[in-house]
Amino acid sequence: MSSANEMNKTRVINELRQFIKKLLQDPEIIPASLEVARKHSGTQNAATVIANEISSLTSVKIPDDPEDFSDADRLYLEVLKEVIDEEQAMY
């Protein structure tokens, strides 16, 4: 594995560790995030709208521009979308 690839993997792991820590320290983040994701699911630019509202309501700060999203930001938004899609498929 190349050194650059290893460094990128380490950076992503560190971002995810910090993010998971934040989720564990503030138990209101997940319910608030799910509520926001439900509200905006299926709308145009949903990821950006969801990211902006989560940033305004919680201690999670996601950049306004999707091009500036970190890997952890993208992963969190993707997982939120998957959870909402699975909820909707059950009903």
The pTM of the full predicted model, rounded to 2 decimals, is 0.86
What pLDDT was estimated at residue 2?
A: 82
**Domain coverage including residue 22:** 3-90
**Which residue bears the tokens 């902006």?**
52
pLDDT, position 1: 61
Tokens of 27: 């138990």
Q: Is the pLDDT of residue 91 over 80?
A: no
pLDDT digits (tens, 9 = 90+) for 31-86: 999 999 999 999 999 999 999 999 999 999 999 999 999 988 999 999 999 999 99
CA 90 to mean position of chain CA atoms:
22
**Total domain count for the chain?**
1
Task: Answer yes or no: are the C-beta atoms of 39 and 33 closer than 8 Å.
Answer: no
The 8-class DSSP code of residue 69 comes to -
What gap in Å lies between CA 12 and CA 29, rounded to an integer? 21
Q: Note whether 26 and 59 are within 8 A (CB).
A: yes
Joined tokens for residue 75: 């992963």
pLDDT value of residue 69: 95
